[in-house]
A = this chain, B = another copy of it.
């Protein structure tokens, strides 16, 4: 962790820079995968499965039996924990599914918005070293609450050709019935274009490695909608002298174990805390199974000493972190000053892992500075808000003359006439 003392304002911009994900070299190989799946469908998926997952897969769709069986393979305690998380995530995301009221903007002119689900969505769940079943909950629950009629989930098979039972259990619990054993860029291609087995969907969600990220970037440029542009995960933590260095170190490490390119930024106005945290981090690091990953990501990370907590918040707003932890005496007050962040964790007991798993808000959040303009995934991500308007004759009589004048001033006489022909008939009634 690099330590910086009292950086001058003109250096802030540079300190906010993220490590660049080098995806350019992936353009040609990923395009090749996308094109192959587009042309050859399931046959291409089978070949890539042999090549990348090192397993032969004949039937990509997980059977109802496999889904049912998963329930027996997950320990009871873990099932209870997943159910608790589900309940909280549901409670939080259900409250987002509101329909604004009907607004009569002018007498006889009624307008409203309605949440209408995106019909077909695809969820990608990475495989690899650990089964990311928490992401199943975070994507499937809002998709179900929104009311999407088709929800396809793709995830790579393990060495045994099967999908991890905890992932299957989480899918089953959230009501997902379509799970496909397809991973990587080829899974994104399958959901973007459709194959004989995997359905073509309208919007694709979920994290993944650089191949998946590149594939999502390409299909997005082709007009297929994705959740949020992706970058490495990151946390920015602000603490003052009241904070417990043990908590801070644990929080920074929990972010750094995500991947070697994870970003960890620690800001404080207390030199003592800075020193204590630096020591504590290396104490805790050696106990972590993923210490080499965490150690690697700490190399890109920063600890910065500022004059005041206010300055820390200002820097944070410029950085626009995915996760922001505020562990100060006046944390509650400070949240009012947060302008750019994906999700904010307030006070000493709100560790990021709470939000990663079980407290309720979504863990799919904007990284890489996208928190300047993007929100995290929510129920909104699975709906369109369609606007409706209904004018009565009275409404058109009230508003028509204004429309006619404006259309005429924009030299759109056809627009004006659509009103005029109606007003003429209304006057003749």
A374, CB-defined interface residue at 8 Å:
yes
Contact indicator B118/A372 (Cβ below 8 Å): yes
Contact indicator A406/B374 (Cβ below 8 Å): no
A26, CB-defined interface residue at 8 Å:
no
Take A357-B407, A389-B350 as given contacts and tell me if A254 and B344 are in contact as well, using a CB distance cutoff of 8 Å.
no
Take A84-B402, A223-B229 as given contacts and tell me if A378 and B386 are in contact as well, using a CB distance cutoff of 8 Å.
no
A116, CB-defined interface residue at 8 Å:
yes
Question: 8 Å CB contacts to B: which residues of A304-349?
Answer: 331-332, 335, 338-349
Q: A274-318 toward B: CB 8 Å interface, digit per residue (1/0)? A: 000000000010011110001000000000000000000000000
A24, CB-defined interface residue at 8 Å:
no
Can you name the residue of chain B whose Cβ is closest to the Cβ of A90? B105
Chain B residues near A124: list those with CB within 8 A.
none
Question: 8 Å CB contacts to B: which residues of A247-275?
Answer: 247, 250-251, 253-258
Chain B residues near A419: list those with CB within 8 A.
351, 353-354
Contact indicator A81/B380 (Cβ below 8 Å): no
Q: Among the listed B78, B255, B387, which residue makes an inter-chain contact with A405, where contact means beta carbons less than 8 Å apart?
A: B78
Chain B residues near A221: list those with CB within 8 A.
217, 221
Nearest CB of chain B from residue A36's CB, rounded to whole Å? 23
Can you name the residue of chain B whose Cβ is closest to the Cβ of A331? B390
A415, CB-defined interface residue at 8 Å:
yes
Nearest CB of chain B from residue A382's CB, rounded to whole Å? 10
Residue among A84, A132, A345 facing the most chain B CB atoms (10 A cut-off)? A84
Q: A400-426 toward B: CB 8 Å interface, digit per residue (1/0)? A: 011101110111111111110110011
The complex places the Cα of A378 from the Cα of B255 at a distance, in Å, of 34
Q: How many copies does the complex hold?
A: 2
Stretch at the interface among A52-60, A178-186, A191-199, A359-367: A359-367
A111, CB-defined interface residue at 8 Å:
yes
Nearest CB of chain B from residue A374's CB, rounded to whole Å? 6
Q: List 28 A-B contacts (CB under 8 A).
A: A80-B402, A81-B402, A81-B403, A81-B406, A84-B106, A88-B106, A95-B101, A95-B103, A119-B340, A203-B373, A221-B221, A244-B425, A253-B417, A289-B411, A342-B386, A349-B391, A350-B391, A351-B418, A353-B415, A354-B389, A354-B399, A354-B419, A355-B389, A356-B403, A357-B406, A360-B389, A372-B384, A374-B384
**Residues of chain A at the chain B interface (Cβ within 8 Å):** 77-78, 80-82, 84-85, 87-88, 91-92, 95-96, 98, 100-101, 103, 105-106, 109, 111, 113, 116, 118-119, 129-134, 166, 202-203, 217, 221, 223, 225, 229, 244, 246-247, 250-251, 253-258, 284, 287-290, 294, 331-332, 335, 338-362, 366, 368-376, 378, 380, 383-393, 395-396, 399, 401-403, 405-407, 409-419, 421-422, 425-426
19 more CB-based (< 8 A) A-B contacts, given A78-B409, A88-B105? A77-B405, A98-B100, A109-B354, A118-B372, A130-B411, A133-B410, A203-B373, A223-B229, A247-B418, A250-B414, A250-B421, A257-B412, A288-B413, A294-B414, A343-B386, A346-B388, A349-B393, A350-B391, A378-B385
